[in-house]
Amino acid sequence: MDLQTWLAFFAASCLIAVSPGSGAVLSMSHGLSFGVRKTGATILGLQLGLLLILLIAGAGVGSLLLASEVAFSVVKVLGACYLIYVGFNQWRAGDAPIAQGDAHEAAGTWQKRCLTGFLTNATNPKGIIFMVAVLPQFMTDTRPLWTQLLVMAATTVTVDVVVMHGYAFGASALRRLMRSARAVRAQNRVFGGLLMAVGAGLFFVKRGGQHA
């Protein structure tokens, strides 16, 4: 991949990362609830899911997935239901403020936060559609496929890690203002509602990226 092509892909990766989506909402939600350090596990999971999508799209499996109505619908429904489930759980979470000593218990294990991040990205059909549409624009048959995918994966993940940490850091900075029961309840309902809304929106995603 030459420098000009990489710069164009880097710009596209930045636009993808900063665009509001389920990953950004989840990073902000966990950053506000648990702080940046614990949200690192969530962001790790998001990157693993992103890498899976990149590999699927780069290997051509994504095109086959988009060509199959049944396969695409299964991924879409699973992704939508999972986000709605996560959002509903946060919506109905208690409104008691999280004490410092209870933060670890409330956050759950790092494996659980990582899995939540992974499933959030890995089951997002919008991500698959976008990658299948975007990756071929920056690839050439004059260079090995695996080296191009490696450069793209490293670029995308690096950019996304920085942006997701930015979202988490910004949300974490508000933690001191969100200690009251009323503020925690509002926080849970806002982010829970956003996650459920994003999940519901996935039901309307069609193959080819068109919406109903």
Quick: pLDDT tens for 160-179: 999 999 999 988 887 766 66
- The C-alpha angle 174, 176, 180, rounded to 5 degrees, equals 110
Give the count of domains, the chain. 1
Residue 64 structural domain = 23-202
Specify whether the CB–CB gap between 159 and 12 falls below 8 A. no
Domain annotation covers residue 180: yes
| Percent of the chain whose predicted confidence (pLDDT) is above 70 | 75
Residue 202 token pair: 């996935």
| Residue whose token pair is 């997701």 | 164
Domain annotation covers residue 207: no
Name the pTM for this structure: 0.71
Domain annotation covers residue 72: yes
CA–CA separation, 195 and 91 (whole Å): 9
Domain annotation covers residue 209: no
Q: Which residues of the chain have pLDDT under 50?
A: 96-107, 209-212
Cα R_g (the chain), whole angstroms: 18
Domain annotation covers residue 57: yes
pLDDT at 99: 42
CA–CA separation, 46 and 98 (whole Å): 24
Domain annotation covers residue 6: no
Domain annotation covers residue 50: yes
Residue 24 token pair: 């950004």
pLDDT at 67: 62
Domain annotation covers residue 45: yes
